[in-house]
Amino acid sequence: MATGSYSTKRVSSCLQTDFCISYDEKAASEDILNGPRASLVQRQQYGMPIHDNRLIAGDNLNVLRALTADLSVAKQVKLIYIDPPYATGFDFQSATVGLAYSDQSQGATYLEALRCRLLLLHKLMSDDGSIYLHLDQNMLFPAKILMDEVFGAKCFRNLITRVKCNPKNQTRKQYGDVCDYLLFYTKTDDYVWNDPVESWGLIEGEKEYLCVEEDTGRRYKKVPCHLPGIRHGATGEPWRGRNPPPGKHWVHAPGKLDELDRNGRIYWSKTGNPRRKLYLDESAGKRRNNLWTDFKDTQNQNARVTGYPTEKNPEMLRMIIEASSNPDELVLDAYAGSGTTLTAAGSLGRRWIGIDSSPTAITVSVDRLRHGTPRMGSYARKTYIKRAAGEKLPDADLSFGLWIDSENRLLTSRFAHLP
Protein backbone atom coordinates (compact mmCIF):
# COMPACT_ATOMS: atom_id res chain seq x y z
CA MET A 1 0.00 0.00 0.00
CA ALA A 2 1.28 3.44 -0.87
CA THR A 3 1.68 5.73 2.12
CA GLY A 4 3.01 9.24 2.34
CA SER A 5 5.50 10.30 4.98
CA TYR A 6 8.33 12.74 5.49
CA SER A 7 11.90 11.49 5.61
CA THR A 8 15.06 13.30 6.74
CA LYS A 9 17.30 10.50 5.43
CA ARG A 10 19.05 11.08 2.11
CA VAL A 11 17.76 8.68 -0.54
CA SER A 12 18.66 8.22 -4.18
CA SER A 13 15.47 9.90 -5.41
CA CYS A 14 16.29 13.18 -3.62
CA LEU A 15 18.14 15.13 -6.27
CA GLN A 16 18.65 18.59 -4.80
CA THR A 17 17.92 18.31 -1.06
CA ASP A 18 18.85 16.13 1.89
CA PHE A 19 15.21 15.44 2.74
CA CYS A 20 12.16 14.57 0.69
CA ILE A 21 8.76 12.92 0.76
CA SER A 22 8.94 9.15 0.96
CA TYR A 23 6.25 6.82 -0.37
CA ASP A 24 6.11 3.26 -1.67
CA GLU A 25 5.43 4.14 -5.31
CA LYS A 26 8.48 6.38 -5.69
CA ALA A 27 10.54 5.28 -8.69
CA ALA A 28 14.21 5.88 -9.38
CA SER A 29 14.81 9.10 -11.31
CA GLU A 30 16.72 7.22 -14.02
CA ASP A 31 13.75 4.93 -14.66
CA ILE A 32 11.47 7.93 -15.07
CA LEU A 33 13.77 9.76 -17.47
CA ASN A 34 14.42 6.65 -19.55
CA GLY A 35 10.86 5.33 -19.80
CA PRO A 36 8.72 4.93 -22.94
CA ARG A 37 8.64 7.85 -25.36
CA ALA A 38 5.70 8.99 -27.42
CA SER A 39 5.88 8.53 -31.17
CA LEU A 40 4.88 11.97 -32.39
CA VAL A 41 3.45 12.60 -35.85
CA GLN A 42 2.11 15.84 -37.25
CA ARG A 43 -1.56 15.50 -38.13
CA GLN A 44 -2.31 19.01 -39.34
CA GLN A 45 -0.64 22.35 -39.97
CA TYR A 46 -2.73 25.48 -39.54
CA GLY A 47 -1.49 28.63 -41.22
CA MET A 48 2.08 29.32 -42.22
CA PRO A 49 4.70 27.65 -39.99
CA ILE A 50 6.33 30.94 -39.02
CA HIS A 51 7.26 29.39 -35.70
CA ASP A 52 7.38 25.73 -34.79
CA ASN A 53 4.39 26.11 -32.46
CA ARG A 54 3.06 22.70 -31.50
CA LEU A 55 -0.16 21.51 -29.87
CA ILE A 56 0.48 17.88 -28.95
CA ALA A 57 -2.28 15.37 -28.17
CA GLY A 58 -0.98 12.62 -25.89
CA ASP A 59 0.01 11.55 -22.39
CA ASN A 60 2.35 14.32 -21.30
CA LEU A 61 4.66 11.85 -19.54
CA ASN A 62 5.59 10.05 -22.76
CA VAL A 63 5.44 13.26 -24.79
CA LEU A 64 7.86 15.03 -22.45
CA ARG A 65 10.25 12.10 -22.73
CA ALA A 66 10.09 12.40 -26.52
CA LEU A 67 10.80 16.13 -26.32
CA THR A 68 13.96 15.51 -24.28
CA ALA A 69 15.39 13.92 -27.45
CA ASP A 70 14.36 16.90 -29.61
CA LEU A 71 17.34 19.27 -29.86
CA SER A 72 15.05 22.19 -30.69
CA VAL A 73 13.32 21.75 -27.32
CA ALA A 74 15.69 20.04 -24.86
CA LYS A 75 17.27 22.69 -22.60
CA GLN A 76 15.64 25.38 -24.73
CA VAL A 77 12.40 25.98 -22.80
CA LYS A 78 12.55 29.40 -21.19
CA LEU A 79 9.25 29.31 -19.31
CA ILE A 80 7.00 26.51 -18.11
CA TYR A 81 3.53 27.12 -16.71
CA ILE A 82 1.52 24.09 -15.61
CA ASP A 83 -1.95 23.91 -14.10
CA PRO A 84 -2.31 20.17 -13.43
CA PRO A 85 -5.22 18.40 -11.74
CA TYR A 86 -5.47 19.27 -8.05
CA ALA A 87 -6.25 15.82 -6.56
CA THR A 88 -9.85 16.87 -5.93
CA GLY A 89 -11.50 13.51 -6.73
CA PHE A 90 -13.89 15.26 -9.14
CA ASP A 91 -14.72 15.04 -12.83
CA PHE A 92 -14.69 18.46 -14.49
CA GLN A 93 -17.26 19.28 -17.14
CA SER A 94 -19.35 22.18 -18.37
CA ALA A 95 -22.48 22.69 -20.41
CA THR A 96 -20.37 24.24 -23.18
CA VAL A 97 -17.72 21.54 -23.72
CA GLY A 98 -19.00 18.48 -21.81
CA LEU A 99 -16.54 16.30 -19.87
CA ALA A 100 -13.12 17.93 -19.93
CA TYR A 101 -11.03 15.70 -17.68
CA SER A 102 -11.15 13.44 -14.65
CA ASP A 103 -9.23 14.43 -11.52
CA GLN A 104 -9.34 11.16 -9.59
CA SER A 105 -5.66 10.54 -8.77
CA GLN A 106 -4.86 11.29 -5.13
CA GLY A 107 -2.27 10.74 -2.39
CA ALA A 108 1.04 9.09 -3.22
CA THR A 109 -0.16 8.14 -6.71
CA TYR A 110 -0.84 11.79 -7.47
CA LEU A 111 2.50 12.93 -6.07
CA GLU A 112 4.48 10.39 -8.05
CA ALA A 113 2.70 11.35 -11.27
CA LEU A 114 3.53 15.00 -10.62
CA ARG A 115 7.12 14.20 -9.70
CA CYS A 116 7.66 12.28 -12.93
CA ARG A 117 6.55 15.29 -14.97
CA LEU A 118 8.65 17.70 -12.92
CA LEU A 119 11.81 15.66 -13.50
CA LEU A 120 11.27 15.76 -17.26
CA LEU A 121 10.35 19.44 -17.26
CA HIS A 122 13.55 20.21 -15.36
CA LYS A 123 15.50 18.47 -18.09
CA LEU A 124 13.76 20.51 -20.82
CA MET A 125 14.33 23.90 -19.16
CA SER A 126 17.11 26.22 -20.24
CA ASP A 127 19.62 27.18 -17.57
CA ASP A 128 17.99 30.60 -17.31
CA GLY A 129 14.46 29.19 -17.36
CA SER A 130 11.55 29.43 -14.91
CA ILE A 131 8.59 27.26 -13.93
CA TYR A 132 5.24 28.14 -12.33
CA LEU A 133 3.18 25.32 -10.78
CA HIS A 134 -0.46 26.30 -10.17
CA LEU A 135 -2.33 24.38 -7.42
CA ASP A 136 -4.92 24.80 -4.71
CA GLN A 137 -4.46 23.94 -1.04
CA ASN A 138 -5.04 20.17 -1.48
CA MET A 139 -1.51 19.21 -2.53
CA LEU A 140 0.33 22.52 -2.30
CA PHE A 141 2.56 21.65 0.63
CA PRO A 142 3.81 18.22 -0.46
CA ALA A 143 4.22 19.68 -3.98
CA LYS A 144 6.49 22.37 -2.50
CA ILE A 145 8.76 19.66 -1.10
CA LEU A 146 8.73 17.86 -4.47
CA MET A 147 9.75 21.09 -6.19
CA ASP A 148 12.57 21.58 -3.67
CA GLU A 149 13.69 18.05 -4.41
CA VAL A 150 13.74 18.44 -8.19
CA PHE A 151 14.75 22.10 -8.63
CA GLY A 152 16.54 22.78 -5.35
CA ALA A 153 15.33 24.83 -2.39
CA LYS A 154 17.74 27.61 -3.39
CA CYS A 155 15.87 27.97 -6.69
CA PHE A 156 12.55 28.66 -4.96
CA ARG A 157 11.53 32.25 -5.70
CA ASN A 158 7.95 32.77 -4.51
CA LEU A 159 4.80 31.24 -3.16
CA ILE A 160 2.22 33.37 -4.94
CA THR A 161 -1.33 33.68 -3.63
CA ARG A 162 -3.97 34.44 -6.25
CA VAL A 163 -7.44 35.63 -5.28
CA LYS A 164 -9.43 33.45 -7.67
CA CYS A 165 -12.99 34.60 -6.99
CA ASN A 166 -15.23 36.86 -4.96
CA PRO A 167 -16.43 35.65 -1.53
CA LYS A 168 -19.31 33.18 -1.74
CA ASN A 169 -22.11 32.39 0.66
CA GLN A 170 -21.24 29.20 2.51
CA THR A 171 -22.49 27.22 5.47
CA ARG A 172 -19.24 25.48 6.44
CA LYS A 173 -17.64 26.42 9.74
CA GLN A 174 -14.42 27.75 8.20
CA TYR A 175 -13.03 30.76 6.40
CA GLY A 176 -14.15 31.35 2.85
CA ASP A 177 -11.94 29.75 0.21
CA VAL A 178 -11.10 32.45 -2.36
CA CYS A 179 -7.46 31.69 -3.17
CA ASP A 180 -5.25 29.31 -5.07
CA TYR A 181 -1.46 29.31 -5.32
CA LEU A 182 1.54 29.28 -7.66
CA LEU A 183 4.99 27.93 -6.83
CA PHE A 184 7.62 29.89 -8.75
CA TYR A 185 11.03 28.24 -9.24
CA THR A 186 13.98 28.78 -11.54
CA LYS A 187 16.61 26.35 -12.76
CA THR A 188 19.57 28.48 -11.62
CA ASP A 189 20.21 31.84 -9.96
CA ASP A 190 20.69 33.47 -13.38
CA TYR A 191 17.23 33.60 -14.99
CA VAL A 192 15.12 35.79 -17.24
CA TRP A 193 13.29 38.42 -15.24
CA ASN A 194 11.44 41.44 -16.60
CA ASP A 195 10.21 43.13 -13.43
CA PRO A 196 6.38 43.26 -13.60
CA VAL A 197 4.64 46.37 -12.32
CA GLU A 198 1.08 47.42 -11.56
CA SER A 199 -0.37 50.81 -12.41
CA TRP A 200 -0.66 53.24 -9.53
CA GLY A 201 -4.17 53.95 -8.35
CA LEU A 202 -4.88 57.66 -7.82
CA ILE A 203 -4.93 57.41 -4.03
CA GLU A 204 -2.03 54.94 -3.95
CA GLY A 205 0.16 57.26 -6.02
CA GLU A 206 -0.58 60.25 -3.80
CA LYS A 207 0.26 58.23 -0.69
CA GLU A 208 3.54 56.99 -2.14
CA TYR A 209 4.63 60.28 -3.75
CA LEU A 210 3.86 62.72 -0.97
CA CYS A 211 5.77 65.80 -2.13
CA VAL A 212 4.62 68.35 -4.72
CA GLU A 213 6.96 70.73 -6.55
CA GLU A 214 5.79 74.31 -6.17
CA ASP A 215 6.82 75.45 -9.64
CA THR A 216 5.63 72.42 -11.64
CA GLY A 217 2.94 70.79 -9.48
CA ARG A 218 4.58 67.40 -10.11
CA ARG A 219 4.36 64.78 -7.38
CA TYR A 220 7.60 63.20 -6.22
CA LYS A 221 9.13 61.23 -3.39
CA LYS A 222 12.55 61.53 -1.79
CA VAL A 223 14.85 58.50 -1.71
CA PRO A 224 18.45 58.10 -0.50
CA CYS A 225 21.38 58.83 -2.81
CA HIS A 226 23.21 55.76 -1.50
CA LEU A 227 22.86 51.96 -1.54
CA PRO A 228 24.10 49.23 0.82
CA GLY A 229 27.60 47.84 0.27
CA ILE A 230 31.12 49.22 0.00
CA ARG A 231 32.45 49.98 -3.50
CA HIS A 232 36.02 50.94 -4.45
CA GLY A 233 35.19 52.52 -7.80
CA ALA A 234 33.70 55.91 -8.60
CA THR A 235 30.56 55.30 -6.52
CA GLY A 236 32.73 54.87 -3.43
CA GLU A 237 34.53 58.19 -3.88
CA PRO A 238 33.59 61.45 -2.12
CA TRP A 239 30.92 63.66 -3.66
CA ARG A 240 30.60 67.35 -2.83
CA GLY A 241 33.19 66.85 -0.12
CA ARG A 242 31.37 64.04 1.66
CA ASN A 243 31.83 60.28 1.68
CA PRO A 244 28.93 57.85 1.37
CA PRO A 245 27.55 56.72 4.76
CA PRO A 246 29.53 53.90 6.44
CA GLY A 247 29.01 50.55 4.75
CA LYS A 248 27.33 52.13 1.71
CA HIS A 249 28.10 53.64 -1.70
CA TRP A 250 26.58 56.33 -3.90
CA VAL A 251 23.82 55.14 -6.22
CA HIS A 252 25.61 56.93 -9.11
CA ALA A 253 29.13 58.17 -9.73
CA PRO A 254 29.73 61.78 -8.55
CA GLY A 255 29.54 63.13 -12.12
CA LYS A 256 26.05 61.64 -12.59
CA LEU A 257 24.91 63.00 -9.23
CA ASP A 258 26.12 66.46 -10.30
CA GLU A 259 24.03 66.14 -13.47
CA LEU A 260 20.95 65.18 -11.46
CA ASP A 261 21.49 68.17 -9.20
CA ARG A 262 21.80 70.55 -12.17
CA ASN A 263 18.47 69.21 -13.44
CA GLY A 264 16.74 69.84 -10.11
CA ARG A 265 16.50 66.16 -9.22
CA ILE A 266 18.37 66.32 -5.92
CA TYR A 267 16.58 67.52 -2.79
CA TRP A 268 18.83 69.10 -0.17
CA SER A 269 17.58 69.06 3.40
CA LYS A 270 18.18 71.94 5.80
CA THR A 271 21.11 69.98 7.20
CA GLY A 272 22.62 69.49 3.75
CA ASN A 273 21.60 65.84 3.33
CA PRO A 274 21.04 64.99 -0.38
CA ARG A 275 18.15 62.82 -1.54
CA ARG A 276 17.02 61.92 -5.04
CA LYS A 277 13.65 63.05 -6.35
CA LEU A 278 11.59 60.37 -8.10
CA TYR A 279 8.50 61.59 -9.96
CA LEU A 280 5.11 59.88 -10.04
CA ASP A 281 4.53 60.76 -13.71
CA GLU A 282 7.77 58.95 -14.64
CA SER A 283 6.96 55.79 -12.70
CA ALA A 284 5.92 52.74 -14.74
CA GLY A 285 3.97 51.56 -11.70
CA LYS A 286 4.43 49.82 -8.41
CA ARG A 287 6.38 46.61 -8.23
CA ARG A 288 4.11 43.58 -8.18
CA ASN A 289 4.17 41.47 -5.02
CA ASN A 290 3.21 37.83 -4.42
CA LEU A 291 -0.44 38.56 -3.60
CA TRP A 292 -2.38 38.77 -6.86
CA THR A 293 -5.84 40.27 -6.41
CA ASP A 294 -6.48 41.34 -10.01
CA PHE A 295 -6.55 37.99 -11.83
CA LYS A 296 -9.82 36.44 -10.72
CA ASP A 297 -11.52 33.69 -12.70
CA THR A 298 -13.79 35.11 -15.36
CA GLN A 299 -17.28 36.06 -14.22
CA ASN A 300 -18.10 39.01 -16.47
CA GLN A 301 -20.61 37.95 -19.14
CA ASN A 302 -18.77 40.10 -21.71
CA ALA A 303 -15.42 38.42 -21.11
CA ARG A 304 -13.91 36.03 -23.64
CA VAL A 305 -13.87 32.40 -22.45
CA THR A 306 -14.09 28.99 -24.06
CA GLY A 307 -16.38 27.48 -21.44
CA TYR A 308 -13.70 24.95 -20.49
CA PRO A 309 -13.85 24.22 -16.74
CA THR A 310 -10.87 25.47 -14.69
CA GLU A 311 -9.91 27.95 -17.45
CA LYS A 312 -7.51 30.53 -16.03
CA ASN A 313 -7.40 34.30 -16.41
CA PRO A 314 -5.53 35.16 -19.64
CA GLU A 315 -4.21 38.44 -18.20
CA MET A 316 -2.44 36.45 -15.47
CA LEU A 317 -0.77 34.27 -18.10
CA ARG A 318 0.27 37.29 -20.12
CA MET A 319 1.86 38.87 -17.06
CA ILE A 320 3.76 35.66 -16.20
CA ILE A 321 4.96 35.26 -19.78
CA GLU A 322 6.18 38.85 -20.01
CA ALA A 323 7.94 38.61 -16.64
CA SER A 324 9.76 35.32 -17.25
CA SER A 325 10.48 35.22 -20.99
CA ASN A 326 11.39 37.43 -23.92
CA PRO A 327 9.97 37.57 -27.46
CA ASP A 328 10.75 34.55 -29.65
CA GLU A 329 11.65 32.39 -26.63
CA LEU A 330 9.97 29.05 -26.00
CA VAL A 331 7.05 28.63 -23.57
CA LEU A 332 5.68 25.20 -22.61
CA ASP A 333 2.40 24.17 -20.97
CA ALA A 334 2.20 20.41 -20.31
CA TYR A 335 -1.46 20.62 -19.16
CA ALA A 336 -2.67 22.92 -21.94
CA GLY A 337 -6.42 22.63 -21.24
CA SER A 338 -8.27 25.26 -23.25
CA GLY A 339 -5.06 26.80 -24.59
CA THR A 340 -4.94 29.97 -22.50
CA THR A 341 -1.14 29.81 -22.10
CA LEU A 342 -0.67 29.12 -25.80
CA THR A 343 -2.90 31.99 -26.91
CA ALA A 344 -1.20 34.38 -24.48
CA ALA A 345 2.27 33.28 -25.59
CA GLY A 346 1.42 33.68 -29.27
CA SER A 347 -0.04 37.15 -28.73
CA LEU A 348 3.23 38.22 -27.08
CA GLY A 349 5.50 36.91 -29.82
CA ARG A 350 6.69 33.82 -27.96
CA ARG A 351 7.05 30.36 -29.45
CA TRP A 352 5.04 27.70 -27.66
CA ILE A 353 4.36 24.00 -27.09
CA GLY A 354 1.16 22.74 -25.47
CA ILE A 355 0.39 19.16 -24.41
CA ASP A 356 -2.86 17.54 -23.28
CA SER A 357 -4.34 14.04 -23.25
CA SER A 358 -7.98 15.17 -23.17
CA PRO A 359 -9.69 15.07 -26.59
CA THR A 360 -11.97 17.83 -25.32
CA ALA A 361 -9.01 20.03 -24.41
CA ILE A 362 -7.38 19.49 -27.79
CA THR A 363 -10.63 20.25 -29.64
CA VAL A 364 -11.23 23.43 -27.64
CA SER A 365 -7.63 24.57 -28.07
CA VAL A 366 -7.63 24.00 -31.83
CA ASP A 367 -10.88 25.94 -32.17
CA ARG A 368 -9.59 28.76 -29.98
CA LEU A 369 -6.24 29.02 -31.76
CA ARG A 370 -7.85 28.98 -35.20
CA HIS A 371 -10.79 31.29 -34.54
CA GLY A 372 -10.14 33.14 -31.29
CA THR A 373 -11.95 33.10 -27.95
CA PRO A 374 -15.74 33.64 -27.91
CA ARG A 375 -17.54 35.82 -25.40
CA MET A 376 -19.16 34.31 -22.35
CA GLY A 377 -22.91 33.81 -22.08
CA SER A 378 -25.62 34.16 -24.68
CA TYR A 379 -23.51 36.36 -26.92
CA ALA A 380 -21.31 33.34 -27.61
CA ARG A 381 -23.94 31.85 -29.91
CA LYS A 382 -23.69 34.85 -32.23
CA THR A 383 -19.92 34.46 -32.17
CA TYR A 384 -20.18 30.85 -33.31
CA ILE A 385 -22.38 31.93 -36.20
CA LYS A 386 -19.80 34.51 -37.21
CA ARG A 387 -17.13 31.84 -37.08
CA ALA A 388 -19.06 29.73 -39.55
CA ALA A 389 -18.94 32.69 -41.92
CA GLY A 390 -15.17 32.75 -41.63
CA GLU A 391 -14.72 35.68 -39.25
CA LYS A 392 -11.65 35.46 -36.98
CA LEU A 393 -11.62 36.96 -33.50
CA PRO A 394 -8.74 39.25 -32.44
CA ASP A 395 -6.80 36.65 -30.42
CA ALA A 396 -6.73 33.95 -33.12
CA ASP A 397 -3.28 32.49 -33.88
CA LEU A 398 -3.23 30.55 -37.14
CA SER A 399 0.41 29.43 -37.08
CA PHE A 400 0.66 26.08 -35.31
CA GLY A 401 0.83 22.38 -35.98
CA LEU A 402 -1.26 19.66 -34.34
CA TRP A 403 0.82 16.63 -33.34
CA ILE A 404 -0.46 13.32 -32.01
CA ASP A 405 1.13 10.37 -30.24
CA SER A 406 0.56 7.69 -32.86
CA GLU A 407 0.57 5.03 -30.12
CA ASN A 408 -2.61 6.48 -28.61
CA ARG A 409 -5.47 4.91 -30.55
CA LEU A 410 -8.16 7.04 -28.91
CA LEU A 411 -6.52 10.27 -30.00
CA THR A 412 -5.48 9.09 -33.45
CA SER A 413 -9.03 7.96 -34.23
CA ARG A 414 -10.58 11.07 -32.69
CA PHE A 415 -8.51 13.41 -34.84
CA ALA A 416 -8.27 11.30 -37.98
CA HIS A 417 -10.24 13.84 -40.05
CA LEU A 418 -9.54 17.43 -39.15
CA PRO A 419 -10.56 20.57 -41.05
pLDDT of residue 219: 95
Secondary element (H or E) of residue 372:
none
Whole-prediction pTM: 0.83
Residue 320 is assigned to a structural domain of this protein: yes
Q: Tell me, rounded to whole angstroms, the distance of Cα 47 from its chain centroid.
A: 27
Question: Do both 158 and 297 map to the same domain?
Answer: yes
Question: Do both 167 and 263 map to the same domain?
Answer: no
Q: How many domains in the chain?
A: 2
Nearest to 326 by CA among 289, 304, 351, 306: 351
Residue 138 is assigned to a structural domain of this protein: yes
Name residue 20's amino acid: C
Residue ranges making up the domain that contains 373:
20-196+292-414
> Residue 282: phi, psi to the nearest 5?
-105, 0
Could you tell me whether strands 351-356 and 330-333 are parallel, antiparallel, or unpaired per DSSP bridges?
parallel
CATH number of the domain within which 56 lies: 3.40.50.150
Question: Do both 373 and 260 map to the same domain?
Answer: no
Question: Do both 116 and 152 map to the same domain?
Answer: yes
pLDDT of residue 8: 37
pLDDT per residue as tens digits for the range 174-201:
888 899 999 999 999 999 999 999 888 8
Question: Do both 174 and 257 map to the same domain?
Answer: no
Residue 6 is assigned to a structural domain of this protein: no
Question: Do both 300 and 275 map to the same domain?
Answer: no
Residue 1 is assigned to a structural domain of this protein: no
pLDDT of residue 143: 96
Question: Do both 278 and 298 map to the same domain?
Answer: no
Half-sphere exposure of 414 (CA within 13 A, CB side): 19
Given 237, 264, 282, which residue is the final one in a domain? Answer: 282
Q: Tell me which residues of the chain have a pLDDT lower than 50.
A: 1-12, 300-302, 377-379, 381, 384-385, 388
Residue 140 is assigned to a structural domain of this protein: yes
Residue 2 is assigned to a structural domain of this protein: no
Beta strands in 164-285 (DSSP E): 179-186, 197-198, 211-212, 219-224, 226-228, 248-250, 266-268, 274-279
Secondary element (H or E) of residue 75:
none
pLDDT of residue 9: 38
Question: Do both 304 and 243 map to the same domain?
Answer: no
Question: Do both 109 and 188 map to the same domain?
Answer: yes
pLDDT of residue 20: 81
